[in-house]
Amino acid sequence: MRSLAGIAALLALILCAAASPALAQTPSGTESGKIVVGTMRVPPFVLRGDDGQWNGLSIELWKQVAAELKVPLELREFDYDPAGLLDALERREIDAALAAIPVTHDGETKFDFTHPYFAAGLGILVRTEPDGGVLASVANFLTLRTLGIITALLGLLALVGTLIWLLERRQGSHFNPRFLPGVGDGIWWAAVTMTSTGYGDKVPISWRGRTLALVWMFASIFLISLFSATLASSFVVSKLKSGVTGPGDLPRARVAVVSGTAGEEWSSQLGLTMRNYPFVIQASKALQRGDVQALVHERAILGHMVKEYGWRELQILPHTLAVRDYAIALPQGSALKEPINRALLKVLHRPDWKDTVQKYVGAAND
């Protein structure tokens, strides 16, 4: 009997040793080695084609993380139901939630988050004037602001031209000694010097004139840059139909937000006049109709939609608001956090990960 007991104990040890490598490959926190990930369609992070295939930045990330963990890819869809997705995670009906989930203070009280994998921010989508051709563009360009800038520049050229004539009006100089022709020569010289044309037909020869020329040449570099930037800004702003050109205009505008998103939270904190919509596509249509003047939502998502649907009448302003990190959400105290984090860092530090980000959200996030 003792021999039989010893043999049985030896067989048990052999079986445990044989099973230990397989158990070591199973991420802690799952009994079967299967991780059920809840997700929902949030382009360009989570996409599902007509053929039923999943893709997008977040999905590509999980595919690579799952490969590192050696677990099968299992996704459970919560169709356009972010509240249902997070409720299922809180009730531990799923092991993780993956979409475009920002790391927030309120979320941290209910869930655990992995390391972030994408820095996202809010953007402002506005409606622009339809293109009316060259004449319409010129009419929009010739505003009181641009006319004032051009007038100020001409006045400055006249001032510098007069000063250089006063310093160079003596006989033997390149400037006509008579007042009107001489000032005309001075304005011509100031203009060609500012634009770096430098024909050389009018050149100051006195030390006073050359000192003024030196100051004017350096000042011209700054003035031309300022003039070009101001005119370009005026041209872009003149095309905006909504009158919203930046965050400072939002308190005076009707702002669309999507319920339960960071855009709604940010707009509410600022006390903006909001109109809530259940989905971003409905908010975008309201902006197109003119029901609202701006839409505040995730910038990467807005960029993807403008590109995907070819909305030429809508434009994303160059401001990024309320930058927050996206991460994978886990139940509190999940044993999967450390294995996923280790796999996640391996994926994020691969040389080709930047190419993956550029593929899905690069153009949309510019």
Spell out the per-residue pLDDT of the chain, length 366, in tens.
445 455 445 445 444 444 443 333 445 445 556 899 999 998 899 998 888 889 999 999 999 999 999 998 889 999 878 889 999 999 999 999 999 898 888 889 999 999 999 988 899 999 986 555 555 556 555 667 677 777 888 888 889 888 888 888 775 667 777 888 878 888 888 888 887 766 666 778 778 888 888 888 888 888 778 777 766 666 555 555 557 888 999 999 999 999 888 899 899 999 999 999 998 999 999 999 989 999 999 999 998 889 888 888 899 998 888 888 999 999 999 999 999 999 999 999 999 999 999 888 864 454
Single out the residue of 149, 123, 122 nearest to residue 235, CA to CA: 149
This model's pTM is above 0.75: no
Task: Give residue-wise pLDDT tens across range 287-312.
Answer: 999 899 999 999 999 988 898 888 88
Q: pLDDT value at position 333?
A: 93
Rounded Cα–Cα distance for residues 336 and 28 (Å): 6
| Domains assigned to the chain | 33-117+327-362 (3.40.190.10), 134-238 (1.10.287.70), 242-323 (3.40.190.10)
Residue showing tokens 């005076």: 252
Question: Residue 26: its pLDDT value, please?
Answer: 47
**Phi, psi at 112, each rounded to 5°:** -105, 150
Whole-number Å distance between alpha carbons of 58 and 265 = 23
CA–CA separation, 151 and 155 (whole Å):
6
Give the Cα separation of 153 and 161 in Å (integer).
12
Sign of the dihedral defined by the CA atoms of residues 229, 230, 231, 235, in that order: positive
How confident is the model at residue 340, as a pLDDT?
A: 95
Say what the pLDDT of residue 231 is. 67
The reported pLDDT for the residue numbered 29 is 47
Cβ–Cβ under 8 Å, residues 263 and 237: no
The pLDDT, as a whole number, for residue 14 is: 45
Say if strands 254-258 and 294-298 run parallel, antiparallel, or are unpaired. Answer: parallel
